Amino acid sequence: MKPETLEKNRYQTTNFPLRTHCRVCETSLVPFLDLGKMPLANAFIKPSEAETEYFFPLQCGVCLNCALPQLLFQPDPEQLFHQEYPFFTNSSSRMTEHFRLLASESSTRFLTMKQSPFVIEIGSNDGTLLSYFNGHGIRHLGVEPSKNLAETANHRGICTISRFFNSQTAQDIQASHGKADLILAANTFCHIPTTNDLFTSIKSLLKDDGVLIFEDPYLGDVLELNSYDQIYDEHVFLFSLYSVECIAKRHGLFVFDVERLETHGGSCRYYLSPNRNEITSQCLIDLRNQERSAAMNQIQTYRAFEKRIQKSRHDLCVLLNQLKKQNRQISGYGATSKSTTILNFCDIGPDLISYISDSTPLKQGKLTPGTHIPIESPEYFHSHKPEYAVIFAWNHLKEIEVKEQDFRHAGGKWLVHVPKVHIL
């Protein structure tokens, strides 16, 4: 089913040094999941590049000490985040609204008493979140290694440096701007493999009464929804409150509040500070208790997850092949990073899904990594309505269902793989 070109690639598992120990605490990792040979999730290619794609082994292990699943190999971050990184936060209007609210709530809660507060965002992407601080004249700085995004943000008037956040960047920021009152990061810390360097740097860059707020996809939701597509090259960790508290403790920080979020299929927002060590948040206490019964530090939990993933692959392949036999038109919706994991793991190519609709101009006209399904615009989707559309941007379902009511009215059906493979 996969295009022949894949077989020509000189991929050998032995070429990749797999991690044996936890990136945070150095405890031995217990391997539990092998999703096979995988291309970079966001390396959408031109047809002429099909012969030279890069593949790596997408495998996971878990540190049972920190209850922290992590990749056994992550490609060099410079290969992932560059001058043509194709994900833009503002591709979702609901995410844009989510970040407007985060800016407004965090300013009210933590900045109102401050004189000329300074806010830093790590992984600021196209500047969406910082634009709401900028709009209120708040001093801010975005740190964004993907050059095209940093440029986009600067053009919007959002002060952004194009660098990876690390101890050197933190020192330079402190020297030029001083320490921060608020450090924010959304869907970024799970991308950074050097967790201890990250937290040491934050601790040194944050004022003593400053606050760090970050949010990432939540391990509990990934396990519950079987959303194994959250596992790809960029997502080196799947965090939980337990693992974040382990990390915080090592770095002299306290998690003083948490919030569960619906974004990206279920996320958790963590509030940390160097000195707020009194826990008054009921949500935090409840989540700690909930996690105790979720056995996130037991290998059986991950073995069971692995079995559910195998079943999900089987069910998706059976369903798509059945529809294909009936000559149904099937497309995809949302050329997400997550779809790279599903398509490659399930071996789904253009013979099953004729194209994927995506609103990002940088992705249109290209092919999906590894499986070479053409990516088309939403306009193309509207004029070539399929009978079925696999929704790979399932985390944006509410937004997309409203936008694509005509698809439904014309008899189109959405197909989704979470929490199990089904037709909506």
- Give the residue carrying structure tokens 């997408």: 58
Q: How far apart are CA 193 and CA 222, in angstroms?
A: 19
Residue 9 found at the interface with Zn ion (CB under 5 A) = no
Q: Which amino acid is at 408?
A: R
**Cβ contact 220:261 at 8 Å:** no
* Shortest separation between residue 360's beta carbon and ligand DWN, angstroms: 4
Q: How far apart are CA 41 and CA 109, in angstroms?
A: 36
Q: Which residues ranging from 172 to 191 are in contact with ligand DWN (CB under 6 A)?
A: 187
Binds ligand SAH by CB under 6 A, chosen from 23, 140, 191, 235: 191
Of ligand SAH, Zn ion, ligand DWN, none, which one sits near residue 66, judging by CB under 5 to 8 A according to partner kind?
Zn ion
The gap between the terminal CA atoms of the chain, to the nearest Å, is 26
Q: Which of 315, 269, 289 is nearest to 420 (CA)?
A: 315
Residue 194 found at the interface with Zn ion (CB under 5 A) = no
* Shortest separation between residue 272's beta carbon and ligand DWN, angstroms: 20
Chain-centre distance of CA 80, in angstroms?
13
Of ligand SAH, ligand DWN, Zn ion, none, which one sits near residue 92, judging by CB under 5 to 8 A according to partner kind?
ligand DWN
Chain-centre distance of CA 280, in angstroms?
30
- Give the residue carrying structure tokens 């080196």: 236
DSSP string, 6-52: HHHS---GGGS----B-TTT-PBPEEEEEEEEEE-TT--B-GGGGGG
* Shortest separation between residue 338's beta carbon and ligand SAH, angstroms: 12
Residue 336 found at the interface with ligand DWN (CB under 6 A) = yes
Q: How far apart are CA 38 and CA 213, in angstroms?
A: 32
**Cβ contact 245:255 at 8 Å:** yes
Stretch that binds ligand DWN, among 17-25, 55-63, 274-282, 393-401 (CB under 6 A): 393-401
Residue 358 found at the interface with ligand DWN (CB under 6 A) = yes
Residue 77 found at the interface with ligand SAH (CB under 6 A) = yes
Stretch that binds ligand SAH, among 18-26, 61-69, 80-88, 199-207 (CB under 6 A): 80-88
* Shortest separation between residue 323's beta carbon and ligand SAH, angstroms: 33
Alpha carbon distances (Å) from 161 to 33, 102, 135, 211, 388: 36, 22, 19, 21, 43
Q: Which residues ranging from 148 to 187 are in contact with ligand SAH (CB under 6 A)?
A: 149, 164-165, 186-187
**Cβ contact 320:46 at 8 Å:** no
Q: Which is nearer to ligand SAH, 187 or 243 (CB)?
A: 187
Q: How far apart are CA 327 and CA 321, in angstroms?
A: 10
Residue 353 found at the interface with ligand DWN (CB under 6 A) = no
Quick note: the x/- pattern for Zn ion over 60-79, rule CB under 5 A, is ---x-xx-------------
Stretch that binds ligand DWN, among 30-38, 61-69, 394-402, 410-418 (CB under 6 A): 394-402
Q: Phi, psi at residue 92, to the nearest 5°?
A: -120, 125
Binds ligand DWN by CB under 6 A, chosen from 98, 338, 366, 372: 338
Residue 80 found at the interface with Zn ion (CB under 5 A) = no
Of Zn ion, ligand DWN, ligand SAH, none, which one sits near residue 22, judging by CB under 5 to 8 A according to partner kind?
Zn ion
Residue 127 found at the interface with ligand SAH (CB under 6 A) = no
Q: How far apart are CA 100 and CA 47, in angstroms?
A: 38
Residue 30 found at the interface with Zn ion (CB under 5 A) = no
The DSSP call for residue 74 is: -
**Cβ contact 39:373 at 8 Å:** no
Binding site for ligand DWN (CB under 6 A): 87, 91-92, 187, 234, 334-338, 358-360, 363, 393, 395-396, 399-400, 403
Binding site for Zn ion (CB under 5 A): 22, 24-25, 27, 63, 65-66
